[in-house]
């Protein structure tokens, strides 16, 4: 790893901060602070190399753009933070003298192999080999590719440092609104926990979360390059619409189909049908139907005396078309799980509620919906995965990301860049961003709604 | 029971022997970027070839797009097992010329060079010299005829004669001005279509119009005298075209289907009589009139041009068959035999009659003339005729697939978001030149 002189101040900051941080933990456990200082300083020194060594400190090179420099600082600090986090974890476990098992904080008992500790490893080996070749190796290679200008079939590659990532940013310059937004964001996050502990209503917590998201969104709006901003917006807008509408309609239809009516079996089977159709075929079917010039939907609207709509020609109508197609496509899956879930709703509870005078809506709202929460939680995760990744086929055959980029979501951009344009470097950088976003959303999911899931009656 | 097991074991032993017998034939793997009836036709021809030349086994494999066939070829070459022939499209000619395999050698080999001065290969007459000049010129780079032309087309226009007649349009429009005048009459019809014309938002139209107006798309003579290092996507001719397109759109004459490279939607619009004119690829010159023959007469004509700039010729589109480098001698011979047999006069004529792609050799064309085919289906001759008017060659540009997309994106900004034509093309030009610069960083000899 090359060392540039302008890295020195940052190193000093991470080393001192690391030393102070770990020392404070040692102090809390009343152990010799000097050890804490030593461990923290080493972690602060080595941590930044997690990112800087593979990049060969290129962001600190003279001649790089300022944005590259600042991006490098963020990576630098992030590396230090990662190692310090790990050091903190180990230190707390070591200092508190607890067993390793207690770190894995849950009550479930772990299974134990009595024969030999090698057996579980052997049993896992086939899986690990497959994962290594088909998951971990491509994952690591994606990180390598994301630093290059690289095309399949080209005689050489060019190292681009972090340009593939910093291309996503286009700072609008410093201004006080941005600063206010950052402060608002920090305050919102800091206020969340105390408010909740002080007995603040759930609603208030939700309000704070939502405002934090809005503020973060507005802030990102200021620094992200306009084209990529639209991609991000499309990704989140289309994904949330698919999940929310898909679950609402899925539950509503499942609830209707669950009623004891004649031939329910046939209705249920027919309702699940769209699930068996591939996203690409769904795209083709709806392309023919939504065609603004010669499509059947506009033809019917005109027959009924209305004015044909600008399906897929208008940016918002195109987004709507993608959402309608995807909701239709996932509906069968959601209905399937909700019908299964409805069968597990305890009948005695419903009966008791009915005797107590709860009307149909109250029974639905207060008994059925909570009883279905594990299913809903599972469906949110699977629907999000669909909306983030599997939606490619639908978009490719319905709108090709248009008009004017209105339906270009992250996965569509990645395939366009990587396969059509063979621009593997940029595609790799975008897939890393998508990867981080999906991880972020999933963690957020587990931390918010995951807590409210009840598995017992 | 034991006997059965024994028999089964014997069968098991015989099967590999049979396979190894089959392997005595020379395998020639041909990767085709079609997945529809065109792939079926190719497979039928391969079966015929295999029967005629039993020493060779041509194996056709279909792919869903040119890009995927190419990517798969590059990956297969990296693993040391490339196919003998890959089907690749005209816009990526520069990329195919520049592509290298894992050993740093070019991925493809010039077909002309591989054939040398042979006039027949194992009894198969060489047809490369007979290829029509528009295709031969396009695929000749650095003085070398590189790949074997196959599906070759040009842009043409279909007219709904019922609507034209009702509107009193006497002659099929040949220029932008005539087209606009015809549209004015058609739009004035009381029970006429909502819009007058459509065509896909595809960069091929920009390339065609630049050729028609006599302008280059890139420097060094469209990349023909040396490597293209600069793209002119905002040239006055390009702006004139985009501006005319926008004007037609704003007047409601042109209807945009809302999707880039939309062949299906534009074809549906014409066939369902929502528009009177459709500019399209000649690949469907026989198919579309046949589809609508019971409803209205559809007549094929040349792509209209800008009368203010004069007419300087149209270019081809389509794809060629590339010979992979580093094949063993037997496989290469088999591949060359197949390539020449595949475009022999009989096959070339049949391919044209089936699809509408131009007859690729002069002999095939003359045979069709003699057989009276063009009198029977006059529209089929338009593309050949258009390409013969004034010979031109299109641009050779690296990273052209991505560069083309900057134009279609700009056109969407203009048509959908009402962006200013010049601003949109300037922005596209900037992106296009960045893409070309990146390409040349990776591919151009140092």
Residue A352 to residue B197: CA distance in whole angstroms: 67
Q: Which of A149, A288, A402 sits opposite B258 (nearest CB)?
A: A402
Among A residues 281-300, those touching chain B with beta carbons less than 8 Å apart: 287-288, 291-294
Decide if A419 and B268 are in contact by the 8 Å CB cutoff: no
Digit-coded pLDDT (tens) for B140-195: 888 889 999 999 999 999 999 999 999 999 899 999 999 999 999 999 998 889 89
Contact (CB, 8 A) for A452 and A373: yes
Cβ contact, residue pair A402, B107, below 8 Å: no
**Interfacial A residues in 410-429 facing B (CB < 8 Å):** 416, 419-423
State residue A176's pLDDT score: 60
Cα-only R_g, chain B: 24
pLDDT band at A409 (very low <50, low <70, confident <90, very high): very high
pLDDT of residue A203: 61
Give the pLDDT mean for B426-431: 95
Query: What is the rounded CA–CA span in Å between residue A96 and residue A103?
Result: 11
The residue ranking higher by pLDDT, A107 or A435, is A435
Percentage with pLDDT > 70 across chain A: 84
- In the structure, what pLDDT confidence band is assigned to residue B5 with cuts at 50, 70 and 90? low
- Whether B416 sits inside 8 A of A153 (CB atoms) is no
- Amino acid B389: pLDDT: 87
Whether A175 shows a pLDDT value over 70: the answer reads no
| All structural domains of chain A with their residue ranges | 1-107, 171-223, 226-452
Give the residues across from B27 on adjacent strands: B57
Retrieve residue B322's tokens.
């590339």
Burial of residue B94, with CB atoms counted within 10 A of its CB: 0-12 exposed, 13-18 middle, 19 or more buried: buried
Is B413 exposed, middle or buried (CB count within 10 Å of its CB: 0-12, 13-18, 19+)? buried
How far are the Cα atoms of A92, B34, B187, B344, B380 from residue B40, in angstroms, in the given order?
Answer: 68, 9, 42, 18, 22
Distance separating alpha carbons of residues B259 and B415, to the nearest angstrom = 11
Q: What is the dihedral of CA A436, A441, A442, A448, to 10 degrees?
A: 150
In chain B the domains, ranked by start, together with CATH numbers, are: 24-152+317-389 (3.40.190.10), 155-314+398-443 (3.40.190.10)
Strands B85-89 and B26-32: parallel
| Nearest by CB: B257 against A149, A292, A404 | A292
pLDDT of the residue at B16: 52
- As a whole number of angstroms, the distance between CA A239 and CA B243 comes to 36
Please give the pLDDT value at position A202. 62
pLDDT in tens, A153-173: 788 888 988 889 988 887 765
Q: Which chain A residues are Cβ-neighbours of B441 within 8 angstroms?
A: 149, 158
B441 contacts A155? CB cut-off 8 A: no
pLDDT at A68 > cutoff 90: no
CB B144 within 8 A of CB B110: yes
Is the CB of residue B266 less than 8 Å from the CB of residue B257? yes
pLDDT tens track for A308-335:
788 888 899 999 999 999 999 899 999 9
Q: Which pLDDT band, with edges at 50, 70 and 90, does B15 fall under?
A: low
At B32, give phi and psi (nearest 5°).
Answer: -115, 135
What pLDDT score does A92 carry? 81
Cβ-defined contact of A293 to B443 (cutoff 8 Å) = no
Q: Which CATH class is domain A226-452?
A: mainly alpha
* Percent over 90 (pLDDT), chain A: 21
Judged against a pLDDT cut of 70, whether residue B2 lies above it is answered with: no
Per-residue pLDDT at B364: 92
pLDDT over threshold 70, residue A110 = no
For the stretch A198-213, pLDDT in tens is: 665 666 666 666 777 7
Average pLDDT of the segment spanning A77-101: 80
pLDDT value, residue A457: 43
Q: How confident is the model at residue A456 (pLDDT cuts 50, 70, 90)?
A: low
pLDDT tens column, B200-225: 999 999 999 999 999 999 999 898 88
Residue B12 pLDDT = 61
pLDDT tens-digit profile of A246-261? 999 999 988 888 887 7
Whether B257 sits inside 8 A of A404 (CB atoms) is no
Q: Would you state the pLDDT for residue A349? A: 86
Least reliable range by pLDDT among B2-11, B44-53, B370-379: B2-11
Q: Choosing among B74, B259, B271, B278, which should be mutated to test the A contact, i.e. which has the most A CBs within 10 A?
A: B259
Query: What's the ipTM?
Result: 0.83
Residue A442 C-alpha from the chain's centroid: 5
Tell if the CB–CB gap between B75 and A152 is shorter than 8 Å: yes
Reading the block at residue B260, the tokens are: 């880039």
pLDDT band at residue A99, thresholds of 50, 70 and 90? low
pLDDT in tens, A364-391: 888 888 888 888 888 988 898 899 998 9
The distance of A315 to chain B (nearest Cα, Å) reads 8
Rounded CA gap, B152 and B352, in Å?
9
Average pLDDT of B287-296?
91
pLDDT at B238: 95
Per the omega criterion (within 30 degrees of 0), is the bond before A403 cis? yes
Q: Coil, strand or helix: which one is B444?
A: coil
Helix (H) or strand (E) holding B345: helix B345-355
Q: What is the mean pLDDT of residues A349-360?
A: 86
Q: Which residues contact A456 (CB under 8 A, 6 or more apart)?
A: none
Query: Of A153, A314, A399, which has the smallest distance from its Cβ to B259's Cβ?
Result: A399
pLDDT digits (tens, 9 = 90+) for B120-145: 898 899 998 899 988 888 888 888 89
pLDDT at B352 over 70: yes
Q: State the count of interchain CB pairs (< 8 A) between A and B.
A: 112
Asked if residue A285 has pLDDT above 80, the reply is: yes
Q: ∠ CA B73-B74-B76 to the nearest 5 degrees?
A: 60
Choose among B99, B275, B416: nearest Cβ to A403: B416
Query: What is the pLDDT confidence band of residue B23, given thresholds at 50, 70 and 90?
Result: low
First to last CA, chain B: 72
């Amino acid at each position: 790893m090359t060392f540039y002189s302008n890295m020195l101040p940052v190193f000093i900051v991470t080393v001192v901060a690391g030393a102070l941080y770990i020392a404070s933990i040692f102090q809390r456990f009343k152990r010799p602070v000097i050890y804490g200082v030593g461990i923290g300083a080493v972690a602060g020194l080595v941590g930044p190399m997690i990112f800087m060594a593979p990049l060969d400190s290129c962001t600190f090179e003279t001649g790089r753009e300022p944005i590259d420099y600042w991006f490098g600082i963020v990576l630098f600090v992030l590396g230090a933070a990662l190692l310090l986090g790990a050091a903190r974890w180990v230190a707390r476990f070591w200092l508190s003298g607890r067993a390793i098992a207690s770190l894995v904080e849950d009550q479930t008992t772990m299974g134990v192999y009595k024969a030999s500790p090698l057996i579980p490893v052997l049993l896992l080996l086939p899986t690990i080999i497959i994962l290594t070749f088909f998951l971990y190796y491509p994952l690591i290679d994606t990180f390598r590719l994301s630093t290059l200008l690289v095309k399949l079939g080209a005689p050489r590659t060019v190292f681009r440092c972090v340009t593939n990532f910093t291309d996503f940013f286009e700072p609008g310059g410093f201004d006080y609104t941005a600063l206010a937004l950052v402060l608002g964001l920090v305050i919102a996050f800091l206020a969340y926990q105390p408010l909740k502990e002080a007995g603040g209503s759930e609603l208030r917590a939700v309000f704070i979360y939502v405002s934090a998201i809005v503020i973060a969104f507005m802030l990102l709006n200021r620094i992200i390059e306009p084209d990529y901003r639209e991609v991000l917006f499309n990704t989140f807008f289309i994904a949330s619409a698919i999940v929310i509408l898909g679950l609402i309609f899925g539950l509503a239809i499942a609830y209707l189909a669950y009623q004891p009516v004649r031939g329910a079996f046939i209705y249920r089977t027919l309702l699940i049908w769209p699930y068996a159709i591939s996203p690409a075929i769904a795209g083709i079917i709806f392309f023919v139907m939504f065609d603004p010039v010669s499509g059947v939907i506009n033809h019917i609207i005109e027959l009924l005396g209305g004015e044909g709509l600008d399906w897929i020609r208008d940016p918002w109508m195109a987004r709507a078309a993608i959402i309608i197609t995807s909701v239709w496509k996932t509906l069968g899956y959601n209905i399937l799980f909700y019908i299964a879930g409805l069968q597990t709703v305890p009948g005695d509870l419903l009966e008791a509620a009915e005797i107590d005078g709860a009307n149909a809506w109250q029974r639905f709202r207060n008994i059925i919906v909570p009883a279905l929460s594990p299913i809903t939680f599972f469906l949110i995760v699977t629907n999000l995965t669909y909306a983030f990744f599997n939606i490619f086929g639908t978009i490719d055959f319905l709108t090709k990301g248009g008009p004017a980029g209105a339906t270009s979501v992250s996965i569509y951009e990645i395939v366009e860049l990587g396969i059509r344009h063979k621009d593997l470097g940029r595609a790799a950088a975008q897939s890393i961003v998508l990867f981080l976003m999906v991880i972020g959303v999933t963690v957020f999911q587990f931390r918010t709604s995951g807590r409210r899931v009840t598995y017992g009656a | 029971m034991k006997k059965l097991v024994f028999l089964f074991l014997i069968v098991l032993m015989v099967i590999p022997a049979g396979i190894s017998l089959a392997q005595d034939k020379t395998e020639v793997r041909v990767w085709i970027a079609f997945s529809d009836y065109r792939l079926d036709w190719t497979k039928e021809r391969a079966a015929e070839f295999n029967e005629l030349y039993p020493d060779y086994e041509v194996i056709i494999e279909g792919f869903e797009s040119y890009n995927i066939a190419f990517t798969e070829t590059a990956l297969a070459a990296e693993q040391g097992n490339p196919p003998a022939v890959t089907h690749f499209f005209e816009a990526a000619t520069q990329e195919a010329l520049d592509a290298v395999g894992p050993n740093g050698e070019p991925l493809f080999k010039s077909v002309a060079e591989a054939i040398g001065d042979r006039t027949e290969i194992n009894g198969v007459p060489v047809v490369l010299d007979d290829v029509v000049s528009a295709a031969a010129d396009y695929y000749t780079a650095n003085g070398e005829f590189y790949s074997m032309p196959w599906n070759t087309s040009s842009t043409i226009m279909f007219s709904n004669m019922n609507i034209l007649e009702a509107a009193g349009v006497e002659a099929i429009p040949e220029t932008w001005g005539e087209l606009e005048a015809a549209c004015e009459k058609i739009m004035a019809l009381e029970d006429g279509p909502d819009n007058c014309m459509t065509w896909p938002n595809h960069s091929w139209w920009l390339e065609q119009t630049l050729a028609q107006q006599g302008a280059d798309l890139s420097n060094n003579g469209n990349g023909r005298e040396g490597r293209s290092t600069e793209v002119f996507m905002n040239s006055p001719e390009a702006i004139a075209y985009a501006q005319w397109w926008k004007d037609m759109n704003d007047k409601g004459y042109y209807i945009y289907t809302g999707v880039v490279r939309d062949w299906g939607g534009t074809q549906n619009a014409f066939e369902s009589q929502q528009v009177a004119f459709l500019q399209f690829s000649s690949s469907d010159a026989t198919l579309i009139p046949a589809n609508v023959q019971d409803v209205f007469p559809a007549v094929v004509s040349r792509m209209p041009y800008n009368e203010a700039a004069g007419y300087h010729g149209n270019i081809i589109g389509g794809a060629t068959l590339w010979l992979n480098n580093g094949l063993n001698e037997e496989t290469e011979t088999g591949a060359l035999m197949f390539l020449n047999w595949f475009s022999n006069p009989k096959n070339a004529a049949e391919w044209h009659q089936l699809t509408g792609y131009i007859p690729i050799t002069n002999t095939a064309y003359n045979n069709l003339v003699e057989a009276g085919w063009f009198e029977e289906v006059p529209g089929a001759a338009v593309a050949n005729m258009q390409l013969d008017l004034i010979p031109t060659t299109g641009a050779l540009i690296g990273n052209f697939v991505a560069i083309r997309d900057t134009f279609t994106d700009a056109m969407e900004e203009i048509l959908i978001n009402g962006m200013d034509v010049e601003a949109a093309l300037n922005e596209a030009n900037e992106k296009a030149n960045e893409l070309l610069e990146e390409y040349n960083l990776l591919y151009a000899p140092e």
